[in-house]
């Protein structure tokens, strides 16, 4: 079946890496693995701050809808989309394309990773909130990737069977191919960046931008400042406009402990995961954290803030340790516990890899997507 794929926040071929882009790419690949043909419908980015800016993109969307409908009308019926799939919509990035195009073509409208915030029903974001709410009411299926979103979605999606749980996932075959043997990766990175292989390597993978990411980095710095009595080195993968502020927040840890590796490609990130000993991320207002999933797939235990969908990825006490969001002391204590316990780290890493294999592989996701689409089509038959 041919699917029109749309990501209003950020298209899957966006040049800046992020967890959002990664999930979009994986969803397209999962649909293809299920035997469907995926076509990127539009690169129209609907994310706007508020008010007049959202009105402007709503008007641009009207022209884009007309263009797409004309495009599809000119094709033979067999080459038109048989379903529309939108990934990641919320009040700042509503879907002004999918619902009306799906209605005009009489095809199913499917959504993944949507969220609603009732407090946005009025004020500067009302337009985006109302558009998102209308889209969700029109959706034949809504795939819930972040369990923290479910409560808000249930208020709009009145038929329970239209909400389908879809755990965040990875293509483990591809992921395994990218990372080499741990000893080899560790030795290569140690030589390249002047690291001591005898000390535990802590790893953080995250963009460096203002807001929640910077807040997480600041908590990370404050927590690790209380662990300077322990031997460790911190590898930081990521870059962005807040890099100077991130560097300032971590400077008290000492330059000899820090290695800023910058923005890396997927192969290089996988090598870092394979070489490190422990993944750390405070996860302030994190949706769920693809980097945390990737770390566990590589056999890394995780210390993270228990926020949003993070507890759906990290099994507290089994694959890592979770702490209250923003609790610097608790985060430091959890990190200390695992830095000082290599055997426990190893056991958690093994459990993490197995948990990802069982619950978060692309094969399972492809089955969930395909089954839901088949059920949707059967309802309309």
| Residue in this structure with the two tokens 């089955």, named with its chain if needed | 367
Mean pLDDT of the chain: 94
Q: How far apart are CA 266 and CA 287, in angstroms?
A: 21
pTM of the full structure: 0.91
Q: What's the pLDDT at 316? A: 98
- Contact between residue 259 and residue 235 where contact means Cβ atoms under 8 Å apart: yes
Closest CA to 110 of 99, 119, 121: 99
* 274 token code pair: 């394979």
pLDDT category, 49, cuts 50, 70, 90?
low
Q: Which domains does the chain have, with CATH numbers?
A: 2-169+361-380 (3.40.50.2000), 175-359 (3.40.50.2000)
Phi, then psi, of 34 in degrees rounded to 5: -80, 0
Given a contact cutoff of 8 angstroms between Cβ atoms, the answer to whether 66 and 91 are in contact is: no
Q: What is the mean predicted confidence (pLDDT) over 156-172?
A: 94
Per-residue pLDDT for 319 more than 80? yes
Q: What pLDDT does residue 286 have?
A: 92
pLDDT digits (tens, 9 = 90+) for 176-215: 787 778 899 999 999 999 999 999 999 999 999 999 999 9
What is the rounded distance in angstroms from the CA atom of residue 215 to the CA atom of residue 246? 9
Phi-psi region at 317: left, alpha or beta (left = phi > 0; alpha = psi -120 to 50): left
């Amino acid at each position: 079946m041919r699917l029109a794929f749309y990501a209003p926040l950020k298209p899957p071929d966006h040049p800046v890496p992020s967890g959002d882009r990664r999930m979009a790419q994986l969803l397209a690949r999962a649909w293809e693995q299920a035997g469907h043909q995926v076509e990127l419908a539009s690169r129209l980015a609907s994310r706007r701050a508020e008010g007049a800016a959202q009105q402007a993109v709503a008007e641009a969307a009207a022209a884009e809808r007309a263009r797409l409908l004309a495009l599809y009308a000119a094709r033979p019926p067999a080459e038109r989309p048989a379903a529309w799939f939108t990934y990641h919509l919320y009040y700042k990035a509503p879907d002004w394309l999918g619902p009306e195009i799906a209605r005009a073509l009489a095809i199913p409208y499917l959504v993944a990773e949507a969220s609603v915030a009732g407090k946005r029903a009025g004020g500067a974001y009302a337009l985006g909130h109302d558009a998102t709410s209308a889209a969700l009411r029109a959706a034949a299926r809504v795939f819930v990737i972040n369990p923290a979103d479910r409560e808000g979605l249930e208020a709009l999606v009145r038929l329970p069977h239209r909400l389908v749980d879809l755990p965040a996932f990875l293509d483990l075959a591809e992921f395994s191919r990218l990372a080499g043997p741990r000893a080899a990766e560790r030795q290569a990175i140690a030589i390249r960046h002047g690291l001591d292989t005898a000390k535990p390597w802590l790893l953080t993978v995250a963009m460096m931008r203002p807001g929640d990411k910077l807040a997480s980095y600041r908590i990370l710095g404050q927590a690790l400042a209380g662990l300077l009595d322990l031997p460790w080195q911190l590898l930081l993968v990521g870059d962005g406009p807040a890099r100077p502020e991130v560097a300032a927040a971590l400077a008290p840890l000492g330059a000899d402990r820090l290695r800023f590796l910058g923005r890396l490609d997927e192969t290089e990130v996988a090598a870092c995961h394979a070489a490190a000993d422990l993944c750390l991320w405070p996860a302030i207002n994190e949706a769920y954290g693809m980097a945390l999933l990737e770390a566990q797939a590589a056999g890394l235990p995780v210390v993270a803030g228990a926020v949003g969908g993070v507890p759906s990825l990290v099994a507290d006490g089994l694959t890592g340790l979770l702490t209250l969001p923003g609790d610097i002391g608790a985060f430091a204590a959890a990190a200390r516990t695992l830095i000082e316990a290599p055997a426990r780290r190893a056991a958690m890493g093994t459990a993490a890899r197995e948990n990802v294999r069982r619950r978060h592989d692309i094969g399972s996701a492809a089955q969930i997507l395909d089954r839901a689409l088949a059920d949707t089509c059967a309802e309309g038959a």
